[in-house]
Amino acid sequence: MKIQISTEYAIRILHFLNMHEGMHTAMSISSAIDVTYPFFIKIANQLKKSGFLHSVQGRNGGYVLGKCAHTISLYDVYLCMEGELQISHCTAKGALCTHGKMHDCKLYETWHILKSKMIEEMSNQRIADLAR
């Protein structure tokens, strides 16, 4: 499993806004986290749809956090950017076991335990925790 670069930048955007209170322009944020302006806009639009970012148009506009950094988990951001975590084919919702023995399969059980632990760890880490 590898987290997409867009997810990493989404976390960086939220972390930046948590560390630097107030309104920030797209250009200032994209420059600060070293991401291109068009890629920033693409990521910011996804974050806005999930309520993690709030934007204000106009001369004094920009971006601020849409939710408190203490309430946004890394898994929340992962879900926003990538959807449900999948570490193998058999952990997908509605997936059928490739050999028909899903309930007796130790590998199936192992994948589900690993997936649950990863989700738990990502859910326990908040954007605000990154400031420590």
pLDDT confidence of residue 97? 61
26 with 41: CB under 8 angstroms?
A: yes
Q: What CATH number has the domain spanning 5-131?
A: 1.10.10.10
Residue 91: the pLDDT is: 64
Q: Please state the domain extents for the chain.
A: 5-131
Task: Please report the pLDDT score of residue 88 as a whole number.
Answer: 74
Question: Would you give the DSSP letter of residue 131?
Answer: G
What pLDDT is attached to residue 1? 74
Please give the chain's pLDDT, 132 residues, in tens: 789 999 999 999 999 999 999 999 999 999 999 999 999 999 999 999 999 999 999 888 999 999 999 999 999 999 999 999 888 776 666 566 666 666 667 777 888 889 999 999 999 999 999 987
